[in-house]
Amino acid sequence: MTVPGESAPSTAPSTDAAPMTALRRHRALTRIWASDPGWKGWFTTVNHTDLGRMFLSVAVFFFVVGGILAMLIRAQLASPRSAFVGPDVYNQLFTMHGTLMMFLFAIPLFEGFAVYLLPKLLGTRDLAFPRLTAYGFWCYVFGGSMLIFSMLAGIAPDSGWFMYPPLSSTLGSPGINSDFWLIGITFVEISAIAAAVEITVTILRYRAPGMRLSQMPIFAWYALVTAVMILTGFPPLILGSILLELERAFGLPFFQVADGGDALLWQHLFWLFGHPEVYIIFLPAAGAISTIIPVMARTRLMGYGWIVAAAVSLGVLSFGLWVHHMFTTGIPHMGLAFFSAASTLVAVPTAVQIFAWIGTMWRGRPELHLPMLWILGFFATFVIGGLTGVMVAVVPFDWQVHDTYFIVAHLHYVLIGGFVFPMLGALYYWMPHFIGRKSYFKIGPTAFWLVFAGFHGTFLLLHWAGLLGMRRRIDTYESGQGWEAINILASVSSFVMAIGFALVLVDIVVNAVVSVRGSRNPWGAGTLEWAMPTPAAAYNFASLPVVTSRDPLYDDPELPARIARGEGYLGDPVRGRRETLSLDISTGRPAYIVVYPGNTAMPMAMAAVTGLFFLGLLVKAYWLVPLAALGVAGFALNWVRALGARREEGALPAGQGLSLPTASEVPDPPGWWGSLFLLLADGTLFGSLLFGYAFLFTIAPNWPPPAWAEPGAGVALAALGGAALVGAGRLTRGGAGAVVTLAGLVALALACLLMLRHAPDPTAHAYDATLWVLTGYALFHLSVAALMAGALFARRRAGIVSARIGGEGRILDLWAGYAALVTLIGLAVTAAPGVLG
Amino acid sequence: MHPAGPAAAAISRLWWVLLVGATLIFGFVMALIALAWRRPAGTGDERRFVIGLGLAFPLTVLAALLAYALVLGERLLPRPGPDVVTVRAEASQWIWRFGYPDAEGRATENVLHIPAATPVDVEITTTDVVHSFWVPRLAGKLDAVPGHVNVLRIETDGPGEFAGLGSEYNGPGYAGHRFTVIAHAPEDWAAFLAGDLP
Interchain contact B132–A (C-beta under 8 A):
yes
Peptide linkage before A760 cis (omega within 30 of 0):
no
Q: Is A515 helix (H, G, I), strand (E, B) or coil?
A: coil
Q: What share of chain A is helix, strand, coil (3-state, %, to 5)?
A: 70, 5, 30
State the amino acid at position A212 in one-letter form: R
Q: How far is CA A723 from CA A569, A740, A743, A819, B98, in A?
A: 45, 11, 10, 9, 58
Nearest residue of A to residue B58, measured between CA atoms: A348
- Nearest by CB: A262 against B18, B35, B147: B147
User: Is residue B43's pLDDT more than 80?
Assistant: no
Name the minimum distance, in Å, from the CA of B192 to any CA of chain A. Answer: 29
Q: Which of A630-639, A760-769, B1-10 has the lowest mean pLDDT?
A: B1-10
How does pLDDT run across A759-790, given as a tens digit for each residue? 889 999 999 999 999 999 999 999 999 999 99
Cβ–Cβ < 8 Å for A532, A563: yes
Answer yes or no: do B49 and A355 touch at CB < 8 A: yes
Percent of chain A with pLDDT over 70: 97
Rounded Cα gap, residues A80 and A73, in angstroms: 13
What would the pLDDT profile of A661-676 be if each residue is shown by its tens digit? 999 899 899 999 999 9
Put simply, the answer to whether A358 touches B136 (Cβ < 8 Å) is no
- Distance from B38 to chain A by nearest Cα, in Å? 9
Q: Looking at residue A343, what is its pLDDT?
A: 83
A76 to chain B, any CB pair closer than 8 A? The answer is no
CA–CA distance, A375 with A290 (Å, rounded to integer):
10
Task: Measure A81 CA to nearest chain B CA, in Å.
Answer: 11
Query: Residue B150: its chain A contacts at CB < 8 A?
Result: 329-330
Instruction: Show residues of chain A in contact with B25, CB under 8 Å.
Output: 383, 387
Give A186 to chain B, closest Cα distance, Å. Answer: 23
Closest Cβ opposite residue A355 in set B41, B42, B54: B54
| Of the partner residues A337, A403, A702, the one whose CB lies closest to the CB of residue B168 | A403
Q: Cα distance from B95 to chain A (closest Cα, Å)?
A: 15
Q: CB under 8 Å to A713, separation ≥6 — which residues?
A: none
Closest chain A residue to the Cα of B25, Cα to Cα = A387
Pairing status of strand B131-134 against strand B160-166: antiparallel
Element (H, E) at B95: strand B95-99
Task: Output the pLDDT for position B198.
Answer: 67
- Cross-chain Cβ contact A167/B54 below 8 Å: no
CATH top class, domain B85-194: mainly beta
A252, pLDDT greater than 50 = yes
Averaged pLDDT for residues A458-476: 93
- Domain range annotation of chain B: 6-76, 85-194
Domains and CATH numbers, chain A: 1-34+537-600+642-666 (no CATH), 46-514 (1.20.210.10), 677-836 (1.20.120.80)
Band the pLDDT of A441: cuts 50, 70, 90. low
A9-16 long-range Cβ contacts below 8 angstroms, 24+ apart? A9/A576, A11/A576, A12/A573, A12/A574, A12/A575, A12/A576, A13/A573, A13/A574, A13/A576, A15/A572, A15/A574
| Cα separation, A390 vs B164, whole angstroms | 27
List the single residue in B11, B132, B165 with the smallest CB-CB distance to A400. B11
Q: Which A residues, 346 through 405, put their C-beta within 8 Å of a C-beta on chain B?
A: 347-348, 351-356, 358-366, 376, 379-380, 383-384, 387-388, 390-391, 394-400, 402-404
B8–A contact, CB cutoff 8 A: yes
pLDDT in tens, A345-361: 889 999 999 999 999 99
Residue A201 has pLDDT above 50, yes or no: yes
Banded model confidence at residue A14, pLDDT cuts 50, 70, 90: very low
**A535 upstream amide cis, omega within 30 of 0:** yes
Residue A836, pLDDT score: 86
**Cβ contact, residue pair B147, A344, below 8 Å:** no
Measured between CB atoms, does B71 come within 8 Å of chain A?
Answer: no
